[in-house]
Amino acid sequence: MAASGRSIAAAFALLLNASAAFAQTSGTWDTKLGGGATGLLYGALKFMAKDGKSNACLSGMKAHINIFTPADPKDPRTRAGAVSKFHFYFWSPNKPPRTVVSINLPIAGGPEPQQTRYNEYDPYYTPPASIYDVRPTCISELNVDTDKALAVAAKNGLPLGTMSAYELKLFYAAGPDEPDWKDRALRKKIFWAVSISEEKAAMERQYLADALTGGFI
């Protein structure tokens, strides 16, 4: 399936111009703390270009937001805190065709001592035949960040809680080969699927937000 859309080189201009637990709803969580995907994507694009893959394009994303790590009661040096994990999926006509670039972003300082690297891009490559979310399609535009997608979901029923973790996935239902194509409301759309992390698949409810318009689907 041939990719359509802009490569990394063209995506730079667009971005420059565009500028874990079950739900616990005690306390109101500010969805603005869950943002950052668009700004981090710009860095991921630069990382890919520097790594010699400037012809790759964004295929999708996954974000784990507000993952809480408690302090260790036996270690006074530790501090409780939360972190968000962003995974950017890139597809390329050249080998390796599927690349994932990940980065961890601390929320309000994050937990200490750090149990993971912050603000450093970490790539890995998926086998061509692997079943994975790196689709052979290109997303050339992205206007709605993760915080806005969370806000749309919350407005339409997603429970917000200070101790809740959230999962967001970015998909492009580009054509009949994509599983989302079966839903007529999603055809040709680039959208966020928002849910509470770690819920069992049978019980999970997803809230869909248009990644270009910010509308609820």
Confidence of residue 23 (pLDDT cuts 50, 70, 90): very low
Express each pLDDT in 97-147 by its tens digit: 889 999 999 998 899 887 778 999 998 887 766 656 789 899 988 899 999
Express each pLDDT in 142-194 by its tens digit: 899 999 999 999 999 999 888 899 999 999 999 999 999 999 999 999 999 99
Alpha-carbon distance of 123 to 119, in angstroms, equals 13
Alpha-carbon distance of 48 to 100, in angstroms, equals 10
Task: Please say whether the beta carbons of 170 and 210 come within 8 A.
Answer: no
